[in-house]
Amino acid sequence: MKFRPLHDRVVVRRIEAEEKTAGGIIIPDTAKEKPQEGEVVAVGPGARDESGKVVALDVKAGDRVLFGKWSGTEVRIDGQDLLIMKESDIMGIVGK
* Domains of the chain from N-terminus onward: 9-16+31-93 (2.30.33.40)
pTM of the model: 0.76
pLDDT at 91: 92
Q: What span, in angstroms and rounded, lies between the C-alpha atoms of 32 and 65?
A: 19
What pLDDT score does 95 carry?
83
pLDDT in tens, the chain (96 residues): 678 889 989 999 988 766 655 676 776 666 556 668 999 999 999 988 899 899 999 999 999 999 988 888 999 988 889 999 999 999 999 886
At 84 the pLDDT is: 94
**What pLDDT, on the 0 to 100 scale, is given for residue 19?**
63
Burial 3-38 (b: 16+ CB within 10 A, else e): eebeebbbbbebeeeeeeeeeeeeeeeeeeeeebeb
Q: What is the 3-state secondary structure (H, E, C) of 4-15?
A: CCCCCEEEEEEC
The whole-number pLDDT of residue 78 equals: 86
Would you give the DSSP letter of residue 20?
B
Among candidates 18, 19, 7, which has minimal Cα distance to 47? 7
